[in-house]
Amino acid sequence: MKTKNKINVLELISPEMQQVMQFYADNPQPAPESNDYPSMRLAYNQDRRYWNADAPEMFSIRDISVSTSYGDVLTRLYQPTEKTPATLYYLHGGGFILGNLDTHDRIMRLLASYTGCAVIGIDYSLSPEAHYPQAIDESAQVCQFYYQHADHYGINTQYIGFAGDSAGAMLSLATVLWLRDKQIHCGKVSAALLWYGLYGLRDSTSRRLYGGEWDGLRQQDLEEYDNAYLTALGNRDAPYYCLFNNDLTQDIPPCFIASAQYDPLIDDSVTLFKTLEAHQLACEYKMYPGTLHAFLHYSRMMKVADDAIRDGAHYFVKQLNN
């Protein structure tokens, strides 16, 4: 779509979201020194430091390296209390190319605090150094490792869940499908918490109308993320990338599907919700008005971001009690 035809979402976002945008206007972040991935990652990591401050304290936080068939994968185990009723695996967003355990630290601490459960962040291998489906397979292997060593780490993996934002939401649901299809058991998957994910649509109304410099989700940006993750010749119809090409009619845990109103990926979330709902699968959809993609990071400034994390946490606890 011609840029001038797109909706000017910056005139429509909520006062809270405008406050975040004003913060960036008043505190411009240094641009990456170059266009290479290490420079982009360094800039992203530095940008997220402010937003991760003042997070809840934990009973215990441990960084644990897990051996996989691809090499060692770093994980971070958050325990809000000594004994926890379940374990929630978290896969961070960042377009498959950015992000780590530090960039999403506050989100994971809040999830641990609000659920009372152990949260394990998975620092899966980034693209383009690693490509589809390595991050999914790594996450499944991490899940198996903790299931086999739960007593050693003092966690309960009889009941587990997967959670993620943006690309991490896709990877979370893809991992759930991977475990199901390959009949890998590492605990009962009680729920999946999915914040503004992409699930395989190539085009949609929201992808046409929204997205710009402010969220890094222009059409060309989305294509670059895809190319890095899949490689330029990758199969966009692959069932663990385009999840709508997988079986979404059975054996899927209850899903909390959250979206941002002015996110070019919102139609992915709506399509996922309507698909699961049509097949009578347990799911809940919630759209957060006036927000942009990635708003979950801004809980220091935006109450709605904290609310969205709480809503997902409460959904997970509810499924544990069912």
Long-range contacts of 152-156 (CB under 8 A, 24+ apart): 153/62, 153/64, 153/77, 154/79, 154/82, 154/83, 155/77, 155/79, 155/84, 155/87, 155/118, 156/83, 156/84, 156/85, 156/86, 156/87, 156/118
Could you give phi then psi for residue 19, rounded to 5 degrees?
Answer: -65, -40
Query: How many CB atoms lie under 10 A from the CB of residue 65?
Result: 11
Which DSSP letter does residue 294 get? Answer: T
Two tokens at 2? 């011609």
Catalytic residue from among 123, 263, 267, 268: 263
Catalytic residue from among 14, 127, 139, 166: 166
Which DSSP letter does residue 95 get? Answer: T
The answer to whether residue 152 is catalytic is no
Catalytic residue from among 293, 297, 299, 311: 293
Which DSSP letter does residue 211 get? Answer: -
The answer to whether residue 314 is catalytic is no
The answer to whether residue 293 is catalytic is yes
Two tokens at 31? 């641009």
Sign of the CA dihedral running 110, 115, 119, 121: negative
> Which residues does the annotation mark as catalytic?
166, 263, 293
